[in-house]
Amino acid sequence: MTSIFPLTLSNGAFITASLILGFFFGFFLERAGFSSAKKLTAQFYFRDWGVLKVMFSAIVVAMLGLAWGSLTGAIDMGQVYIPDAYLWPQILGGLLLGSGFILGGYCPGTSVVAAATGKLDGLFFVLGIFAGIFGYGMIEPAIHQFNLSGSLGPLTLQQLFHTSAGVVAFCVAAVAVGAFWAAEQSEGPWQLFKKTYGRSE
């Protein structure tokens, strides 16, 4: 059975598709409220679970779609890009990105949407990213060895745990639903607390 997806596109179709997909990406990020640094950072103060809820529901939807498509043979997962794992730089990079997130209020994608809706702090964050990436590119040769450490290739969770993609997908979906439930539980008490003791802004 030959797979239909991923598609092979001409340059013109590729550019058009990229623009349209980007449009919807930006649109839904803004609709989720991710153009607001205050809403995004409220996640880290346990006051708004939007980041977790949006991110995990998106992951679960795309994951189940891919799992289903690959099972029916519509998608050739061999042609879908799976990031290479470099354990140590990815953990350190994650710690840096998380620190930048709580300091600057955004992550790279959301800062673009913030700037697009007129947020000056979003614009400064975007400028900061350019500066950071430029600086990183310049010093990268010096830390190149570290950057390749913990290399595991395009490792997936199913390979790591020696099980099938279906089982992992099922577990991730179950964990996500559990996290949603916990998030819903924790938002209630906070609203009550804020109503009782919160200062008006």
Residue 192 C-beta: closest distance to other proteins, Å: 18
Task: Provide CB contacts within 8 A for 85, sequence distance 6+.
Answer: 150, 151, 152, 153, 154, 155
Per DSSP, 118 falls in state: T
Residue 44 C-beta: closest distance to other proteins, Å: 4
> Which lies closer to other proteins via its Cβ, residue 19 or residue 189?
19
Q: Nearest-CA neighbor of 51 among 90, 94, 93, 101?
A: 101
> Which lies closer to other proteins via its Cβ, residue 154 or residue 192?
154
Residue 185 C-beta: closest distance to other proteins, Å: 14
Cis before 6 (ω within 30): yes
Q: Nearest-CA neighbor of 113 among 103, 130, 126?
A: 126
> Which lies closer to other proteins via its Cβ, residue 135 or residue 191?
135
Residue 45 C-beta: closest distance to other proteins, Å: 6
> Which lies closer to other proteins via its Cβ, residue 93 or residue 192?
93
> Which lies closer to other proteins via its Cβ, residue 15 or residue 182?
15
Residue 29 C-beta: closest distance to other proteins, Å: 6
> Which lies closer to other proteins via its Cβ, residue 97 or residue 192?
97
Residue 79: strand, helix, or coil: helix
Cβ-based burial of 153 (10 A; exposed 0-12, middle 13-18, buried ≥19): exposed
Residue 18 C-beta: closest distance to other proteins, Å: 4
Q: Nearest-CA neighbor of 176 among 47, 29, 62, 17?
A: 62
Neighbouring C-beta atoms of residue 37, cutoff 10 Å: 19
